Chains A and B, each alone.
Chain A
């Protein structure tokens, strides 16, 4: 769905640009390609790595470890696993839903989802190359603390709905 919108948008913009100025359009494509080629190696490595991680983390084992009775141990485990890498939402949410049904606690799942999307140790080197060590480390650690905070709040609030 979002793919159709994005490709349509990019196609239309490209066409408009080409009609207005062919030379500028070529430069634009070259710039886009340079940016893409620069990050492609990391893209490929991360996609492959996520494949292995998902294959190793079997939901039935994990959901037992992070059940609603698992307390802080479960929260730390869930957020630790979530922090390994930045996992795209289309894998993260169904996996989280599966874990919930398998008996995982809301608090633990909240920690898992937030750290999955905001904290990435594997992607840290890419982030550092763009933002420097300090900014990247502060962002990831702050996001990690926040993931724990969200987990606690969600554990209290969500059951009230």
Chain B
């Protein structure tokens, strides 16, 4: 148990070791790094816990049949649209999208729709767009958005075309295990 926990934190602990080293050798770098890491922690606390609470509730309350109907393989453009909206409304960094994707897969969402969600989450997030407008201006933000939407669809198509069916099934199996299907 402890060994397993330690192993999963190995990467984090080795980065902490770099911090300790920097504290003694490069004080200025260390200070800026700590400052950024602290604000990053706040950003995570601001969005991640409620996302996981909502995720748990979705898992328990939304029946598989309903989610499959709205986002499953036969859901058509409407399913894609829902995936886009879900991804765009989300907050937090892209790696926060992976557990969400796992739950959706375990509930019967199609692979293509999950890929759309990942794409939308990575670039067309609404909270981030407002930030982009402010920081870089409307021409920059608008042009990027217009280019992003077809690209997200294109990348989703590409991945679906390249990944064999058997592997997709393996990914789904893993997602089911991960979202605690036994509970």
Contact = CB atoms under 8 A, between A and B. Distances in A.
A28 B59 CA distance: 7
Interface residues of A, number: 79
Contacts of A27: 56, 60, 183
Interface string B80-93: 00000000000111
B37 A47 contact: yes
Contacts of B139: 157-158, 161
Contact of B47 (A3, A100, A138, A161): A3
A78 B36 CA distance: 20
Contacts, number: 259
Interface string B149-175: 001001100110011100100110011
A9 B91 CA distance: 13
Contact of B143 (A134, A146, A153): A153
Given A32-B53, A51-B37, A135-B163, A158 B140 contact: yes
B95 A55 contact: no
B41 interface: yes
B109 interface: no
A114 B140 CA distance: 12
Contacts of A87: 93
A72 interface: no
Contacts of B51: 6, 10
Contacts of B75: none
A121 to B, nearest CB: 13
Interface in B88-103: 91-96, 98-99, 101-103
Interface in A32-85: 32-36, 38-39, 41-52, 54-56
Contacts of B41: 47
Contacts of A14: 53, 57
Q: Is the interface of B mostly helix, strand, loop or mixed?
A: helix
A142 B148 CA distance: 12
Contacts of A43: 44, 48, 95
Interface in A86-142: 86-91, 93-94, 96-97, 100, 106, 109-110, 113-114, 117-118, 120, 123, 126-127, 130-132, 134-135, 138-139, 142
Given A28-B60, A55-B30, 17 more contacts: A3-B47, A13-B57, A29-B56, A30-B56, A31-B60, A39-B96, A41-B11, A42-B95, A52-B33, A88-B93, A89-B132, A91-B36, A113-B136, A127-B98, A130-B175, A132-B167, A146-B151
Interface of B: 8-9, 11-12, 15-16, 18-19, 22, 28-37, 39-41, 43-44, 46-57, 59-61, 91-96, 98-99, 101-103, 115, 118, 122-123, 125, 127-128, 131-132, 134-136, 138-140, 143-144, 147-148, 151, 154-155, 158-159, 162-164, 167, 170-171, 174-175, 178-180, 183
